[in-house]
């Protein structure tokens, strides 16, 4: 069973653009109107979903991940980026994310290009913290095993 994080997409009261206000003080990525609420659990839940999928399926985007909403599409895009970066052993994820989005086509929602890129940057930083903690734990376990 695929693990997904589902959340209602936010609609800007000004221009009606659909997006995910994932930080305090977020502005609409299309008209830049300030948003009064935000989905504080979005980044932690997507990170959790990614880590669970990685542990269970060996990659962030499982083979049977259905796309039924904009939220699913955004997550699929992000999961694909991180799977691709790992497969290519990319060290500079931010540069890789930039290059990925150079060629990404968003049809009528061009504002999403920058928005989803910002989400990917944020998740990249979050995952780096997780990876750093994991590396430290592995090093400590190796030291204990040698004793």
Mean pLDDT of 31-38: 87
How far is 70 from 62, CA to CA, in rounded Å? 18
**pLDDT given for residue 133 in this prediction:** 57
Q: Burial of 5 by CB count in 10 Å (0-12 exposed, 13-18 middle, 19+ buried)?
A: middle
Q: Is the pLDDT of residue 1 over 90?
A: no
Q: What is the 3-state secondary structure (H, E, C) of 85-128?
A: HHHCCCCCHHHHHHHHHHCCCCCCCCHHHHHHHHHHHHHHHHHH
Q: Is the dihedral of CA 16, 39, 76, 5 positive or negative?
A: negative
Task: Convert the pLDDT of each residue in 103-113 to its tens digit.
Answer: 777 777 888 88
**Two tokens, residue 125:** 């930083």
Q: Which two tokens stand for residue 97?
A: 């994310």
Residues in the chain: 147
81 contacts 119 by C-beta, under 8 angstroms? no
Distance CA 58, CA 31 (A): 39
Residues 82 and 88: their CA atoms lie apart, in Å, by 10
Q: CA–CA separation, 58 vs 75, rounded Å? A: 17
How much is the pLDDT for 146? 67
What's the whole-model pTM score? 0.80
């Amino acid at each position: 069973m695929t693990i997904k994080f589902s959340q209602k997409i936010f609609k800007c009261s000004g221009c009606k653009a659909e997006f995910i206000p994932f930080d305090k003080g977020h502005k609409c990525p299309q008209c830049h109107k300030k948003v009064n609420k935000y989905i504080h659990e979005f980044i932690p839940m997507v990170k959790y979903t990614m880590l669970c999928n990685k542990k269970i399926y060996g990659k962030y985007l499982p083979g049977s991940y259905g796309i039924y909403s904009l939220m699913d599409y955004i997550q699929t895009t992000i999961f694909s980026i991180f799977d691709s970066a790992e497969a290519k052993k990319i060290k500079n994820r931010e540069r890789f994310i930039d290059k990925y989005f150079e060629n990404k086509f968003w049809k009528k929602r061009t504002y999403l290009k920058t928005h989803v890129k910002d989400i990917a940057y944020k998740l990249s930083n979050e995952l780096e913290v997780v990876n750093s903690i994991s590396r430290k734990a592995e090093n400590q376990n190796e030291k204990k095993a040698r004793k």
